[in-house]
Amino acid sequence: PMGTGGSIQTVTLAVLKPGTHEVIDRFLFAHEIHRGEMYWAMAQLFMQQGPHALPTFPYPPRDWNNEDVSFNLARRLAPKVQWPAEM
């Protein structure tokens, strides 16, 4: 709940251990319900029909290692993002 009487709604996904209901990880998926519904619809579209079914986005994906971090000390000192080779 917020101090103004409203509430904050987020969408969190849980990763389960295969074949069980044991949660092994959770992560934030969206900051609001409507955005979460939109993201989940795109995820379903991708899983059912592949990447060609996704809408074209007007901006390229963000490169976290190439971002202008000159004014953000935490980002400047943070380690660079390294994705596993399989990805």
In terms of Cα–Cα distance, which of 39, 45, 42 is closest to 27?
39
Dump pLDDT digits (tens) for 63-82. Answer: 767 666 667 777 778 787 78
In this prediction, residues 4-10 reach a mean pLDDT of 76
Dump pLDDT digits (tens) for 15-59. Answer: 999 999 999 999 999 988 889 999 999 999 999 999 899 888 888
Q: Let me know: does 60 contact 49? Beta carbons within 8 Å.
A: no
